């Protein structure tokens, strides 16, 4: 997997900052606070830059780059503004602004006594993600060519513990991004399950349920989606047991490794993006990785439904009626509304087997959520106001956009079927809500549950604050925070 850049913290200033090759970044709490260790000509240049109009306009988290600073061997000097009272998301954005300019070689970050240095480092690591597995001209095998970063801080030993947690978080996010960025000829259901199984090495319990077992469990809705594919459908269960005998939090993910739409086939334009339709499962996997790496004191079970939605002689048809594991029947109006059929069975199985304290499902479920919220916010649906607030506040403190949308019985009419208990689409109006309403049919009364529609945020069309263009890993930080704040014994 793509490894986060190596970051070390030290209070040991190199004797000669002037001789540092590569880049030097200064984290500044105010425009007139330049560190004394900077060689004088560079200090004067930086001082003038900061006094300029552009310098004065620098906002928290923004960066200004001085190329080939006088009196230094460095390629560039990066000035990034971060007031003492900055928020965590601002500190991560400041780090990200530096991380976007990491390049190759060694970067020295002079962070002084800033109390958010750890968040700066996390932002730097997240933004410098580079998925280059298929660029044959890049020689990543060459370790010497890999960039590395030294943070010059006042109290490195105080940072050590939080830095380890941040590294676990970055690794979880990178795991999710890699999964989402992988093409579907590589990340088949089998390859995906293998990558999850390999997480036994870091202490997760991982089970892979194969088609015959899914059949025996009665997961006919999930199997119906995958029946047109050469790749076998699978459900993977990942357990992290760090919380004694508490009932677990269950995380459920949609893992459609490729969504052609099936017989209700999608238009050609943009179909290549449907490699990301396993994004929900990717986030669940990334969170589980982080929890294991940081040895969280909580019980969390991650369940993902891995299928491929293909048109084929064996594929399901519009008009088919299938019986879910729960027993409710579904009329398939549109084979492209496949995610909810996968989730229906996995959600039911999660409740039957684990009796979870709460459930969060994540899915790139509807195009309609992009029409509603664009690429800035995921849609949050929840049957419990207190739980919804916990999720929204976790997202807010991690700086990930999330916005609550309604559920309600008045939408049920839209998915009423003449022939079966429900149909799998409700037409264009309120498309994300009817999808959520469909999922809720598979949630037991009294079971706290939230559904996060991440279709707009998993793979946005351009770079974000903390990610280069491509997969963002949206949700790993929010769910890790939710576990920390609500499910972990202190
Ligand atoms: N995977 C798609 C949703 C999607 C669209 C994700 C764009 C990311 C970007 C989902 O399976 C789907 O096709 N949904 C349909 C539902 C419709 C047929 C009711 C949609 O949104 O058009
Ligand atoms: Mn679809
Ligand atoms: Zn889909």
Q: Do residues 151 and 8 make contact, with C-beta atoms less than 8 angstroms apart?
A: yes
The mean pLDDT value for 1-25 works out to 90
Give the ligand at the shortest distance from the Cα of 425: 1
- Cα 438-183-226 angle, rounded to 5 deg: 40
Angle between helices 385-398 and 88-99 (to 10 degrees): 40
Q: pLDDT category, 255, cuts 50, 70, 90?
A: very high
Give the per-residue pLDDT at 145: 72
Atom from ligand 1 closest to the CA of residue 259? 1
pLDDT of residue 112: 86
Residue nearest to atom 16 of ligand 1 (CA): 337
93 close to 61: Cβ distance less than 8 angstroms: yes
Q: Are 309 and 229 in contact (CB under 8 A)?
A: yes
pLDDT in tens, 471-485: 999 999 999 999 999
Check whether 144 has a pLDDT greater than 70: no
Find out if CATH 3.40.630.10 is the number for domain 170-487: yes
In terms of phi and psi (left: phi > 0; alpha: psi -120 to 50; beta: otherwise), the region of 423 is beta
Model pLDDT, residue 165: 96
Active-site residue list: 266, 340
Q: Determine contact, residues 206/289, Cβ cutoff 8 Å.
A: no
Q: Name the residue ranges covered by the structural domains of the chain.
A: 6-154, 170-487
* Cα–Cα nearest to 178, from 164, 192, 189: 192
Q: Whose CA is nearest to atom 3 of ligand 1?
A: 366
Tell me the C-alpha distance between 184 and 170, whole Å: 24
How far apart (Å, rounded) are the C-alpha atoms in residues 82 and 364? 35
Rounded CA-CA distance 364/456 in Å is 8
* Pocket mutation for ligand 1, best pick of 270, 365, 366 (most atoms within 8 Å of C-beta): 366
Q: Which atom of ligand 1 is nearest to the CA of 434?
A: 19
Pairing of the two strands 106-112 and 148-153: parallel
Which residue's CA is minimally distant from atom 8 of ligand 1? 455
Indicate the DSSP class of residue 486: I
Is residue 33 pLDDT above 90, yes or no? no
**Equal fold, 6-154 vs 170-487:** no
pLDDT computed for residue 246 by the predictor: 95
Across 271-288, average pLDDT: 99
User: What's the pLDDT at 139?
Assistant: 64
State CA 395 to chain mean position distance.
12
| Dist. CA 485 → ligand 2 center (Å) | 34
Instruction: Name the residue at shortest CA distance from atom 14 of ligand 1.
Output: 366
pLDDT (average), residues 442-458: 99
Q: Which residues lie near ion ligand 2 (Cβ < 5 Å)?
A: 259, 336, 338
Compute the distance from residue 315 Cα to the ligand 2 centre, in Å: 14
Residue 216 pLDDT more than 80?
yes
Whole-number mean pLDDT of the chain?
96
- Please report which ligand is nearest the Cα atom of 453: 1
What does the pLDDT average to over 247-276? 98
User: Which residue CA neighbors atom 5 of ligand 1 most closely?
Assistant: 367
Q: Give the pTM.
A: 0.97
209 pLDDT above the threshold of 80:
yes
Do β-strands 76-81 and 63-67 pair in parallel, antiparallel, or remain unpaired?
Answer: antiparallel
The rounded percent of the chain whose pLDDT value lies above 70 is: 99
Q: Give Cα separations from 67 to 21, 44, 79, 199 (angstroms).
A: 13, 14, 11, 43
Question: Which ligand is closest to the CA of 305, given by its number?
Answer: 3
For residue 143, pLDDT beyond 70: no
Nearest ligand 1 atom, CA 266: 13
Q: How far apart are CA 4 and CA 168, in angstroms?
A: 10
Average pLDDT over residues 301-313: 99
Helix, strand, coil percentages for the chain (3-state, nearest 5): 40, 20, 40
d(CA 243, CA 478) in angstroms, rounded, equals 19
The pLDDT of residue 32 is 73
* pLDDT on residue 104: 84
Which residues does a 6 A CB cutoff place in the pocket of ligand 1? 259, 277, 334, 336-339, 364-368, 425, 431, 455
Q: Mean pLDDT over residues 279-292, rounded?
A: 99
Tell me the CA end-to-end span of the chain in Å, nearest whole number: 31
- pLDDT digits 0-9 by tens, 319-338: 999 999 999 999 999 999 99
Site to substitute for ligand 1 among 222, 336, 362, most atoms within 8 A of C-beta: 336
81 pLDDT more than 90: yes
Mean pLDDT on 368-380: 98
pLDDT tier at 60, thresholds 50, 70, 90? confident
Domain 6-154 indexed as CATH 3.40.50.740: no
Counting from 1 in the atom list of ligand 1, the atom nearest the Cα of 334 is 18
CA of 281 to the centre of ligand 2 (A): 15
Provide the pLDDT for residue 30.
Answer: 85
Quote the radius of gyration of the chain (alpha carbons, Å): 24
Residue 267 has pLDDT above 90, yes or no: yes
- pLDDT on residue 13: 76
pLDDT band of 14, cuts 50, 70, 90: confident
pLDDT at 490 over 80: no
Q: Is residue 140 pLDDT above 70, yes or no?
A: no
Query: Within 13 Å and on the Cβ side, how many CA atoms surround 314?
Result: 12
Could you tell me the distance, in angstroms and rounded to a whole number, from the CA of residue 460 to the centre of ligand 2?
Answer: 17
Instruction: Identify any residues that bridge with 93 across adjacent strands, giving them in sequence order.
Output: none
Q: Tens of pLDDT along 85-113?
A: 999 999 999 999 999 999 888 999 999 88
- pLDDT tens digit sequence for 410-439: 999 999 999 999 999 999 999 999 999 999
User: How far away, in angstroms, is 394 Cα from ligand 3 center?
Assistant: 26
Segment 347-366 shows an average pLDDT of 99
What is the whole-number distance in angstroms between the Cα of residue 236 and the centre of ligand 2?
21
Q: Is pLDDT of 142 > 70?
A: no
Kindly report the backbone phi and psi dihedral angles of residue 87, in degrees, each rounded to the nearest multiple of 5, phi listed first.
-90, 165
DSSP structure class, residue 468: -
Report percent pLDDT > 90 for the chain.
91
Residue of the CA atom closest to atom 17 of ligand 1: 337
DSSP conformation class of 247: P
Residue 134 CB burial class (10 angstroms; 0-12, 13-18, ≥19) = exposed
Q: Residue 238: beta bridge partners?
A: 206, 302
pLDDT in tens, 107-139: 999 998 899 999 999 999 999 999 999 999 876
Question: How much distance in Å is there from the Cα of 122 to the middle of ligand 3?
Answer: 31
């Amino acid at each position: 997997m793509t490894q986060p850049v190596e970051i070390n913290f030290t209070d040991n200033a190199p004797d000669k900052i002037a001789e540092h090759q590569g880049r030097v970044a200064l984290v500044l709490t105010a425009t007139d606070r330049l560190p004394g260790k900077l060689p004088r000509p560079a200090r004067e240049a930086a001082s003038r830059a900061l006094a300029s109009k552009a310098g004065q306009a620098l906002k928290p988290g923004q960066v200004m780059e001085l190329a080939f600073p006088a009196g230094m061997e460095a390629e560039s000097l990066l000035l990034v503004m971060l007031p003492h009272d900055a928020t965590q998301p601002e500190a991560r954005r400041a780090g990200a602004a530096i991380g976007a300019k990491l390049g190759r070689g060694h970067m020295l970050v002079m962070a002084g006594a800033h109390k958010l240095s750890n968040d700066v480092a996390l932002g730097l690591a997240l933004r410098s993600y580079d998925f280059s597995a298929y660029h044959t001209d890049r020689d990543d095998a060459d370790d010497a060519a890999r960039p590395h970063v030294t943070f010059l801080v006042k109290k490195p030993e105080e940072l050590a513990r939080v830095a380890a947690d941040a590294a676990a978080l970055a690794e979880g996010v990178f795991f999710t991004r890699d999964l989402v960025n992988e093409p579907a000829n590589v990340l088949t259901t089998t390859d995906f399950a293998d990558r999850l199984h390999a997480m036994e090495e870091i202490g997760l319990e991982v089970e892979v349920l194969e088609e015959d077992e899914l059949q025996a469990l009665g997961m006919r809705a999930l199997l119906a989606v995958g029946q047109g594919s050469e790749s076998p459908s699978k459900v993977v269960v990942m357990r992290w047991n760090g919380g004694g005998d508490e009932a677990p939090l269950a995380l459920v993910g949609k893992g459609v490794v490729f969504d052609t739409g099936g017989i209700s086939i999608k238009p050609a334009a943009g179909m290549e993006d449907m490699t990301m339709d396993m994004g929900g499962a990717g986030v669940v996997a990334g969170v589980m990785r982080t929890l294991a790496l940081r040895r969280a004191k909580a019980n969390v079970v991650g369940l993902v439904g891995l299928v491929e939605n293909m048109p084929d002689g064996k594929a399901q048809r519009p008009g088919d009626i299938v019986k879910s594991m729960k027993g409710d029947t579904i009329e398939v109006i549109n084979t492209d509304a496949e995610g909810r059929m996968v989730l229906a069975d996995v959600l039911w199985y999660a409740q039957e087997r684990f009796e979870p304290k709460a459930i969060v499902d994540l899915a790139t479920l509807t195009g309609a959520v992009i029409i509603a919220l664009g690429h800035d916010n995921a849609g949050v649906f929840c049957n419990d106001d207190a739980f919804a607030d916990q999720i929204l506040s976790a997202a807010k403190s991690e700086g990930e956009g999330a916005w609550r949308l309604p559920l309600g019985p008045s939408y049920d009419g839209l998915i009423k079927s003449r022939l079966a208990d429900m149909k799998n689409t409700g037409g264009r109006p309120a498309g994300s809500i009817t999808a959520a309403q469909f999922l809720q049919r598979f949630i037991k009364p009294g079971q706290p549950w939230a559904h996060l529609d991440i279709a707009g945020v998993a793979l946005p069309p351009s770079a974000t604050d903390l990610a280069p263009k491509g997969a963002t890993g949206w949700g790993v930080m929010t769910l890790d925070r939710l576990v920390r704040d609500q499910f972990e014994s202190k």
